[in-house]
Amino acid sequence: MNLSDHLPRRIGSFEILREIGQGAMGKVYLGNGSMGKVAIKVLKKNIKASLKAEERFKREMKILSQMDHPHIIKIYEVGEDSATLYYAMEYIDGMTLKEKLYQKKFTIKEALLIILQIARGLAHAHELDIIHRDLKPANIMLNQEEKVKVTDFGLAKELSDDSGLTRPGGMVGSPKYMSPEQLEGLGADFQSDIYSLGVIFFELLTGRYPYEGDGVGMIYAQILDRKVPSAKKWNPSIPFEVERICRKAMAKDKTKRYSRIQEMIRDLENALEGKSKSSTQLDYLSQKKSFPIWNGIAIFFIVILTTFLTYYFFQNPL
């Protein structure tokens, strides 16, 4: 069943097949054109504060038009049809990461592969001075092969943008994935995106959201004040290095968080290859097997040596 009673026959050069979704600002239709199936996002006409919404919609079109990356949704066409703003983007035959999280439990390797793809897409945006500001599982698309596309740049912002669409002290984004500084009204930057990515990583590794609470206020309080929870508590099989990456991305103190997404990507790549931060030549399995053996041998010889010296000095006092 369509989400709308009225389905336009065409938008721009595209034949409209059906409605596939809608959000706060717009509706999304499945269309067909010269490049095959596309997703077409149109701005709703009856939303409140329509002038500001129109400016946000235009900003999203502009931002998407600047980016070209395998892990960011690709835009094909922007335009206006019967006074309705729209843009056509690639259609992903799949589901959101939010939906996928309800369906399956990810392995450590799958979690690393997915978060690494998101991080690479995010790095491309950051290189263009673009902050996503609303990174969450619902804004990540996975195709049938679990290839990632970062979507929904409706709240994204360029560092050079002084349009005033976000007033000083205002908050934009989804509260559960906002960084502590965003919740405190201090605004968002690249590190805020990294925090949101860390929360998504936690969910991929454990199958659950890191904080618990009955109300939004309780969640806020935990994001601001509670120590970053341990993913290993919920999934003991997580390697220590993988948990370290997740905890660093979610650090409440920005000075302890990754300062650049490229740093996190490097650590994720090393983790995927089985390399640790402290010793890049040892994978997790060899660390697990070799260190306890050598530690045991060392302790054995220390005990023997201590016993011998104690006996020697007891028999031969000074």
Would residue 161 show up in a list of annotated catalytic residues for this protein?
Answer: no
Task: Compute the distance between CA of residue 3 and CA of residue 139 in angstroms, rounded to an integer.
Answer: 19
Tokens standing for 211? 């904080």
Task: Compute the distance between CA of residue 42 and CA of residue 154 in angstroms, rounded to an integer.
Answer: 12
CA nearest neighbour of 136 among 171, 82, 174: 174
Among 134, 152, 193, 267, the one annotated catalytic: 134
Task: Compute the distance between CA of residue 98 and CA of residue 117 in angstroms, rounded to an integer.
Answer: 16
Task: Compute the distance between CA of residue 130 and CA of residue 115 in angstroms, rounded to an integer.
Answer: 19
Tokens standing for 132? 């996503």
CA nearest neighbour of 41 among 53, 51, 52, 71: 53
AA letter at 239: P
Task: Compute the distance between CA of residue 113 and CA of residue 145 in angstroms, rounded to an integer.
Answer: 12
Catalytic residue positions? 134
